[in-house]
Amino acid sequence: MELQAALTDAQKALVEFMRDGPKSVQQAGHWLLFAQQVSVRDEHSLDEDVKMYFLNQITAMDAFIASWDSKMYYDFARPYALVHEQYAGDTIVAWAGPGLGMKPILGEDWLPYSPMAFLCPPFPSYVSGHSCVSGACGEALKMYKNSDEFGSEVRLVPGALTEPHTLGDTVTIVFPSFTEAAEMAGFSRVFGRLSYSSR
């Protein structure tokens, strides 16, 4: 709760960029888009792209299988359920919803930092699917390119999806390496309070 109450604009933008809720490219899609950026950056041939995209997405598939196997084994609740149970009747400082900012609320009113239409995934929290898929795809791209250098960036307006009436200033999120991009994907779930662990 303390982490959520102190979210920076850059963290809010990262949460939204990696959210992967309804109508998104999903986490494997993020890594396919990242691979496209690598292809353009390095002027790949068709043969290089076929191999890289196949490696990228077969890795994502294997990571999802491992992630879901672990999720079903541990069957760990989301922060949404745990905060409601642990802090029911208590006053906490947290995000109160779109346009309301961070303020004292009752524990049973706690929300993850997310649009009201997509509060929280209806499946176990642990292990983080974002972390599993991103970690695996980041390693696959690093191995394929024989380098961890990525050098991608994205400019976003914090709150554009979650708080469209209280937008912050545009921020730039930099992904200097595949490893850091993967770590940022995992931490985005912690910042949004959709998962407890980025690992």
pLDDT for 91 equals 95
Read off φ and ψ for residue 106, nearest 5 degrees. Answer: -75, 145
The yes-or-no verdict on residue 199 having pLDDT over 50 is no
Would 154 be classed as within a structural domain? yes
In a domain, 135, yes or no: yes
Per-residue pLDDT tens over the stretch 113-145: 887 777 677 788 888 888 999 999 999 999 999
pLDDT band at 193 (very low <50, low <70, confident <90, very high): low
pLDDT of residue 126: 87
pLDDT at 37 (0 to 100): 96
- Residue 109 included in any domain: no
Residue 198, pLDDT > 70, answer no
Residues 152-191 have pLDDT tens digits of 999 999 888 888 877 778 999 999 999 999 999 988 888 7
What's the domain range around 174? 8-75+126-191
Q: Is residue 92 one of the residues assigned to a domain?
A: no
Strand partners, 105: 92
pLDDT number for residue 20: 63
Q: Give the total number of structural domains in the chain.
A: 1
Output the CA–CA distances (angstroms, integers) from residue 148 to 58, 138, 177, in the order listed. 19, 8, 5
Q: How far apart are CA 16 and CA 31, in angstroms?
A: 16
CA 2 vs. chain centroid, Å, equals 19
Give domain status of residue 70, yes or no: yes
What's the rounded Cα separation, in Å, for the pair 143 and 74?
30
Are 168 and 110 within 8 A, CB to CB?
A: no
User: Which of 158 and 43 is assigned the larger pLDDT?
Assistant: 43
3-state secondary structure of 138: helix
d(CA 11, CA 16): 9
Q: What is the pTM of this model?
A: 0.86
- The pLDDT value recorded for residue 152 is 95
| 160 within a domain of the structure (yes/no) | yes
Measured between alpha carbons, how far is 68 from 12 in angstroms, rounded to an integer?
26
57 in any annotated domain: yes
Q: Is 80 exceeded by the pLDDT of residue 59?
A: yes
Any domain includes 13: yes
Of residues 1 and 17, more confidently modeled? 17
Alpha helices in the chain (DSSP H): 2-5, 9-17, 26-42, 46-74, 79-86, 129-145, 178-191
